[in-house]
Amino acid sequence: MRKKIFFTVLMVLVISMTVLPAETSKRHVSYHKVEKFMEDYYNDYNLYAQDAATIDLMDEYWAPEFISIQFLPVPQYPVFDLITWKNFLVFVHLNLLETLTVDEMSIDTEKLTAAARLSIDFNDRYSGALVLHVDAIAFYNLKVDKKNKLKMTFLKLYFADPAAVMALSGPPPGM
């Protein structure tokens, strides 16, 4: 009987040490921490996410299980896992540089979500000429990882003019 009680107490302790801290840290992420994370993300996206030589620096923001959905006028919206997302970003930006500017952001620290209204400029990579300006809305799901760092797990991206965006590089690979 003592062994059974000991084992039960031990299991409760192990579970509380592994599960509860993650849940607790999720509930106690400050607005400022999420806001700073998102500001840093957009700054680093503009600098690093568009080149094969630097895109891996974005792993600071994207969780290994990251998923992105872009709502484009194709028969099936492209759903990208992290590896496909990174390949897609490099492919799309071979001749373009994209600059994301946050016009407005909303953060929910309870649900660990963020939403941003974006102005996006696509410029020719070589001449710098503006090719397209488009507005978009992005929705993000976040998590706190084992190192107590925020990471993005999910992105839903809606463009105001998705046909114009798709015309820049054609349909995503595999579409």
Each domain of the chain, given as residue ranges in start order, spans 29-169
| CATH number 3.20.20.70 given to 29-169 | no
Q: What is the pLDDT of residue 5?
A: 34
Mean pLDDT in order along the chain per 10 residues (175 residues): 36 34 56 98 97 96 96 78 93 92 97 98 95 97 96 96 81 52
The answer to whether the predicted template modeling score (pTM) of the entire model surpasses 0.85 is no
Q: What is the pLDDT of residue 36?
A: 98
3-state secondary structure 24-49: HHHHCCCHHHHHHHHHHHHHHHHHHC
Cα→Cα distances 62→5, 15, 45, 59, 77, Å: 42, 27, 11, 5, 20
71, exposed or middle or buried, with CB in 10 Å at 0-12, 13-18, 19+?
Answer: middle
